[in-house]
A and B are shown apart, each in its own frame.
Chain A
Amino acid sequence: MVNRTAIIKQPDNISFFNDVYKLQKEYQEALIVDNSNPDFIWIGEHQLCYTLGRGSNYDNLLFSLNDNNYDVFKIDRGGEVTCHMPGQLVTYLVLDLNNFNKDLNWYLRKIEEIIIKILGTFNIDCHSREGFTGVWIGNKKIASIGIGCKRWITINGFSINIDCELENFNKIVPCGIENCLMANMIDYNKNLNIQEVKRIVKKIIQEEFNFDFVSK
């Protein structure tokens, strides 16, 4: 695999969802216009919000859209509704798959593999489930994946629950799976913290995609 330069951003503060989404779109657009532009990786946390894919079923949202208590975003990704919040680590990858493998199934499986490696670093045993994209610990979901793609340039990525208020998932049918139980990494390894996970996420992404990271 070839070495690619990727810009990495990993803010320590909690980021507003829409700002990061716009940023991703800018990097995606730049790559569409000129494929010599760098890939972009973002690792961080959001304030509480709910996001829907373009094909999402609104029935999986268990509160009214008129309820102004919650931020809801409809974004360019596949999959059903999910939830972001502090304590959950979100990773976005704007990658030009033309340089890797123009195969979205390959990409989804690759992301699952990456998440499994990340959790493995913390001695947490987890697995993927055929037909249920994401990463699971037993029957509980620890990480969710949703990606979008335009001219093989990806957007969005995955989220791992580290130590977050899982009750927030009760207001939706996560990923459209009824009675889907969610899990936090902290429940399986008391000694970890989100900064440490962040470091490992960066390291494993770098290894798996063979990136030269440039911080910004």
Chain B
Amino acid sequence: MSHEIFMPALSSTMTEGKIVEWLKNPGDKVERGESVLVVESDKADMDVESFQDGYLAAVLMPAGSTAPVGETIGLIVENEDEIASVQDQNKGNQPEVSTSDQLELVSNKTEEKPVVQTENINKEAEVVLKSEKPVPSFKTDQINAATSNVSSRIIASPRAKKLASQMGVDLAKVHGSGPHGRIQADDILKANGQPVSIPWIGEGGSPASIPGANLGVESKPETSGNSFGNPGETVQFNTLQKAVNKNMESSLDVPCFRVGYSINTDKLDNFYKQVKQNGVTMTALLVKAVAKTLKKHPQVNSSFSENGISYPENINVAVAVAMEDGGLITPVLKEPCNTDLFELSREWKDLVQRSRSKQLEPDEYSMGTFTLSNLGMFGVDRFDAILPPGTGAILAIASSKPTVVANSDGSISVKKIMQVNLTADHRVIYGADGASFLKDLASLIEDEPETLVS
């Protein structure tokens, strides 16, 4: 089993870091807590440690190179005999360093121990993610260490600290509502007299317990309650509502079927915890997973046309967003397979912000080839979605909930389970297509969520 070493974020503003030195060579034994490499940003450098006992199997980015925060830069394996296979997997893929960089690197090292041998440089690869289990990044470790500490200290989430400094809220005066009195982003908002924003659009397979991560997304209007009019009134549909009505009615002419799947999200949730601090959103993760699976299942990306089955040139994933004043809009993340997770998350945040202020261009909400609808943050256990016109399928994502599960070996355990439900046009997508799509989506989310990075 291999574990990844990620480029850490040394500061909130850092987007990339320079690898100063690998303190270990591929093949070297590493102990938990032992420094493996040094990363530099400005005049500060930081030791990056291993999180388990094992062996450094591969150096994916050589000393002297620069990598974006969150990028996998090395691989650690648990057993010595796994080194060769991991190195083989990474062989042939050239690293993203130019030849001149490599030469410079070698010449730089003449006066000291050559940390990375030329042979290894040739073996180094672009990110090849084969690991089965996400590595708890050292930052998570640090957070745990900090939170489990004595109560005399102020313990606050990074998001809360940031908000506090932006809003000028004194952390010492804030009552923390999180575990062990940890101050959450919500507490800061409350302290600053701001209403806590309830996430209204999909930010998760998890219930809305991470309010900080959901800032800037749609919030429920507080005054009007859960309706657009007063009792006894009939309120005219607005333009957006009319458009939605038309779209929904057209689905009545489509012979749809539904197929569902229960997905274990334990690993996905772990991975999300690690990348969340780099601005990754759950929506981006789910979109990425769906897009990658669609790539293997072009049939599920297809749609009905008068001339036959129409296969779009691209995979564009639309995500349903409810609007405060009624109606919904489906901003589109174009070609998620070609965008890394961090960029995708930024794009999504931008789309949500602009859809809220109604600044989207038509092609930004009408080019979807597949749609996601996520009501997970409301804690729903399942629902089914109506197929938007011009597309072949839509996936309804419910909440991920701790569930008692009977395992194949007869044992019983509690796992986080998320139900997803695919609605598809049977003229172009058949039951078997939908089912095998869901099976692959589930195994991607369950077994290798860390491959969603790129």
Do A107 and B44 touch (CB < 8 A)? yes
Residues of B within 8 A of A101 (CB): 161
Q: A55-B20, A58-B111, A148-B46 are in contact. Are A105 and B41 (CB under 8 A)?
A: yes
Residues of A within 8 A of B38 (CB): 54-55, 76
How close is A176's CB to chain B, nearest CB, in angstroms? 10
Interface positions of A from 19 to 57, Cβ below 8 Å from B: 35-36, 53-55, 57
Do B13 and A150 touch (CB < 8 A)? no
Do A53 and B149 touch (CB < 8 A)? no
Do B11 and A133 touch (CB < 8 A)? no
B10 at the interface (CB under 8 A from A): yes
Question: Which of B90-98, B151-159, B249-257, B320-328 is near enough to bind chain A?
Answer: B151-159
For A102, give its contact among B20, B41, B158 (CB under 8 Å): B158
Do B111 and A65 touch (CB < 8 A)? yes
Residues of B within 8 A of A74 (CB): 112
Q: A54-B20, A101-B161, A106-B11 are in contact. Are A146 and B43 (CB under 8 A)?
A: yes
Give 1 or 0 for each of B139-173: 1 = CB within 8 Å of chain A CB: 10010011001101110001001000000000010
- The count of A-to-B residue pairs whose CB atoms sit within 8 angstroms is 102
How close is A43's CB to chain B, nearest CB, in angstroms? 19
The secondary structure that dominates the B interface is mixed
How close is A148's CB to chain B, nearest CB, in angstroms? 5
A101 to B112 alpha-carbon distance, docked (Å): 34
A99 at the interface (CB under 8 A from B): yes
Do B13 and A98 touch (CB < 8 A)? no
Smallest CB gap from A59: residue in B:
B108
Residues of B within 8 A of A102 (CB): 139, 142, 158
Q: A77-B45, A145-B43, A146-B43 are in contact. Are A2 and B142 (CB under 8 A)?
A: no
Do B145 and A57 touch (CB < 8 A)? no
Do B44 and A54 touch (CB < 8 A)? no
Do A105 and B14 touch (CB < 8 A)? yes
B18 at the interface (CB under 8 A from A): yes
Do A147 and B21 touch (CB < 8 A)? no
Residues of A within 8 A of B11 (CB): 103-106
How close is A13's CB to chain B, nearest CB, in angstroms? 28
Do A148 and B45 touch (CB < 8 A)? yes
User: What is the number of residues of chain A that contact chain B, defined by CB distance less than 8 Å?
Assistant: 35
B132 at the interface (CB under 8 A from A): no
Interface residues on B, range: 35 or more
Interface centre among A57, A98, A99 (most CB of B within 10 A): A98
Interface positions of B from 313 to 363, Cβ below 8 Å from A: none
Do B44 and A148 touch (CB < 8 A)? yes
Do A98 and B45 touch (CB < 8 A)? no
A103 to B11 alpha-carbon distance, docked (Å): 4
A157 to B142 alpha-carbon distance, docked (Å): 22
A99 to B158 alpha-carbon distance, docked (Å): 12
Do B154 and A147 touch (CB < 8 A)? no
Do B142 and A152 touch (CB < 8 A)? yes
B42 at the interface (CB under 8 A from A): yes
Smallest CB gap from B170: residue in A:
A1
B35 at the interface (CB under 8 A from A): yes
B78 at the interface (CB under 8 A from A): no
Residues of A within 8 A of B41 (CB): 78, 104-105
A151 at the interface (CB under 8 A from B): yes
Interface positions of A from 193 to 208, Cβ below 8 Å from B: none
Q: A35-B145, A105-B41 are in contact. Are A149 and B47 (CB under 8 A)?
A: yes
Interface positions of B from 36 to 71, Cβ below 8 Å from A: 38, 40-47, 49
Smallest CB gap from B111: residue in A:
A58
A76 to B12 alpha-carbon distance, docked (Å): 22
For B44, give its contact among A35, A36, A57, A104 (CB under 8 Å): A104
A42 to B103 alpha-carbon distance, docked (Å): 40
Residues of A within 8 A of B149 (CB): 35
A55 to B42 alpha-carbon distance, docked (Å): 11
Contacts A65-B111, A78-B45 known; 13 new A-B pairs at CB < 8 A:
A1-B154, A2-B154, A2-B172, A35-B145, A53-B43, A55-B40, A55-B45, A78-B42, A98-B145, A103-B10, A103-B13, A148-B44, A149-B46
Pick the 8 closest A-B CB pairs, nearest first.
A105-B11, A55-B20, A78-B45, A104-B44, A79-B43, A150-B47, A103-B11, A133-B43
Give 8 CB contacts A-B under 8 Å.
A1-B154, A1-B172, A54-B20, A76-B38, A103-B10, A103-B12, A151-B49, A152-B142
